[in-house]
Amino acid sequence: MSTLDNTHGTKDNELVVSDGAFVDPGLPEHRSRRADRDPRASRRAELQTVVLFAISVVGTIAMLVLFFAMPDDTSIGGLRGQNLALGLTLGFALLGIGLGAVHWAKTIMSDHEVVEDRHAVESSPEAREAAVAALQAGVEDSGIARRGVLKGAVVSALALFPLALAVPLVAEVGGDWNTNLFRKTLWKKGTRLTRDPDGTPVRAADVTIGSAYHIIPEVSEEERQSPEWITEKAKAVVLLVRLDPKDLNEVEGHEGWTYDGIIAFSKICTHVGCPVALYEQQTHHLLCPCHQSTFDVANGAKVVFGPAKRPLPQLPITVDADGYLVAQDGFDQPIGPSYWERLK
């Protein structure tokens, strides 16, 4: 707040009124800084600025020394230490310059406000007229006036040629465009259920009540090392759990798809595709961690909360002669998120 013996602000305490409106009082009076009034303060400010720049120099040298002299250490703690050392020294190398430059500007550089006029953004009427005249002259020179066919030909050619560039780009970028592949997974009749990621088959007897197995279809070791595997796995992952048969309610149309309380569902969420992997043993709920869609395993994995709409597709399973779990067939619908033509 100012005092009445004013060191800033206009002398008058009142705004001037003219023509029934207040008049702009103009810029506030300039308030001098200590460094302007007191030569000792000025020297102190200069010294502070020099120190700040010196800190930067020290930081740079320190960083370079550490960079070359630090021993190699790839343990977690060692890397953390190296990162800290390099980061701190780099930080100071930079901050020194920044703080020094700003301090110099604030304390020593002239702080008298300057007033500059703004010019209107738009061009002057003369310039506009000249521009219009120039364009008109150009149009006249081009001879396009009353040559409708010529105009049409130019426009058509220019409008069409981008297709020649865009079509090859778009067409090739989409691969083979075979979206029917969404319906096919590696699961077929007789495919064994194996553990993810090592591929060992699962015996029904090993799946005790309360277990949750993460399942992939049986494929050869070679297939599992191939680059296409990850794309197939993205449709084929399955979650296998066992409930007490009396807790399990069979889904209409899916009779016989379970084996003695063991039930298998696609692990890909029908919302937008995250793996639905959180199995809550006591509630028999499957929770997807991405958007909290919750599926009830005891009731055909129908949705009980969250943004998903459709239940998880069920994989029909049984056991083979050796007691290993196998699929009876593939899924009866495309797995994962919905898309426009999925029911066709």
Partner 1 sequence: MKALAARRHHRFAPVVLLLLALLITGGLYAALAPSRATADTATADDIQTGQALFKANCATCHGMNAQGEGDTPSLIGVGAAAVNFQVSTGRMPMELNGAQAIAKPAQFTEEQTKQLAAYVASLGPGPSIPTAEQVDPSLGNASKGAEIFRTNCAMCHNAVGAGGALSGGKFAPPLTSTSPTQIYEAMLTGPQSMPVFNDANITSEEKRDVIAYIVAQREGAAGGADLGSVGPVSEGLWAWIIGLGALIGAAVWIGAKSS
Partner 2 sequence: MTTTAETDAPTTKAGRAADYLDQRTGIGVVVKEFARKVFPDHWSFLLGEIALYSFVVLILTGIFLTMFFVPSMALTTYHGPVQVMDGQVMSDAFASTLRLSFEVRGGLLMRQIHHWAALVFMASIVTHMMRVFFTGAFRKPRELNWLVGFTLMVLGLLAGFSGYSLPDDVLSGNGLRIADGVVKSIPIIGSYLSYFIFGGEFPGEHIIPRLFTVHVLLIPGLILALVALHLIFVVVHKHTQYPGGGRTDKNVVGFPLFPVYTAKAGGFFFIVFGVLALMGGTMAINNVWNYGPYDPSPVSAGAQPDWYMLFLEGSLRLMPGQTEIVTWGHFTLSLNVLVPAAIVPGLFFMFLAFYPFIEAAVTKDKRPHNVLDRPRNVPVRTALGVAFLADFILLALAGSNDLIATHFNMSINTITWIFRVLFFLLPVMTFWITKRICLGLQRKDRELVLHGHEHGRIVRFANGEYVEVHKPLDAQEQWLRVSYDAHAPLELDAPKFDSRGNKNSAYTSAKRWSRLSRFFYEDRIEPVTPAELAAAHDAHHGEEEHVEAIEERDQPERHLRS
Q: Footprint of partner 1 on this chain (CB under 8 A)? A: 31, 33-35, 75-77, 79-80, 83-84, 87, 98, 102, 105-107, 111, 195-197, 202-203, 206, 208-214, 241, 275, 277-283, 285, 287, 289, 292, 294, 305
User: How far is it, in rounded angstroms, from Cα 251 to Cα 339?
Assistant: 24
Angle subtended at Cα 332 by Cα 303 and Cα 295, rounded to the nearest 5 degrees: 15
Radius of gyration for the alpha carbons in the chain, expressed in angstroms and rounded: 38
Write the single-letter amino acid at 322: D
- The separation between CA 164 and the C-alpha centre of its own chain, rounded to angstroms, equals 33
The structure tokens listed for 288 are 């997807």
* Contact string 1-40 vs partner 2 (x = CB under 8 A): xxxxxx--xx-xxxx-x--xxx-xxxxx------------
Tell me whether residue 248 or residue 279 sits nearer to partner 2 (CB atom). Answer: 279
51 binds partner 2, rule: CB under 8 A: no
The answer to whether 278 contacts partner 2 (rule: CB under 8 A) is yes
State the nearest-atom distance from the C-beta of 147 to partner 1, in Å: 59
Interface with partner 2 (CB under 8 A), residue from 98, 138, 210, 323? 98
Distance between CA atoms of 187 and 329, rounded to whole angstroms? 7
User: Which amino acid is located at 30 in the chain?
Assistant: H
Asked if 145 is part of the footprint of partner 2 (rule: CB under 8 A), the reply reads no
Chain positions 311 to 340 lying near partner 2, rule: CB under 8 A, are 336-340
Q: Say if residues 315 and 327 touch (Cβ distance below 8 Å).
A: yes
- Answer yes or no: are the C-beta atoms of 271 and 293 closer than 8 Å: yes
3-state SS class at 272: coil
Given partner 2, partner 1, none, residue 130, with its beta carbon under 5 to 8 Å by kind, binds: none
Q: CB of 192: closest distance to partner 1 in angstroms?
A: 15
Q: What DSSP letter does each residue of 30-60 carry, written as one string?
A: P---HHHH-HHHHHHHHHHHHHHHHHHHHHH
CA-to-CA separations, 85 to 73, 82, 89, 90, in angstroms, rounded: 13, 5, 6, 9
Nearer to partner 2, 248 or 331 (CB): 331
* Min dist. Cβ of residue 301 to partner 1 (A): 14
Q: Work out whether 167 is an interface residue with partner 2 (CB under 8 A).
A: no
What does 209 interact with, of partner 1, partner 2, none (CB < 5 to 8 A by kind)? partner 1
Residue 113 or 322 with smaller CB distance to partner 2:
113
- Of the residues 32, 123, 136, 231, which one makes contact with partner 2 according to CB under 8 A: 231
Say which residue the tokens 């081009």 belong to.
142
Q: Using CB distances below 5 to 8 A depending on partner kind, what does residue 208 bind out of partner 2, partner 1, none? A: partner 1
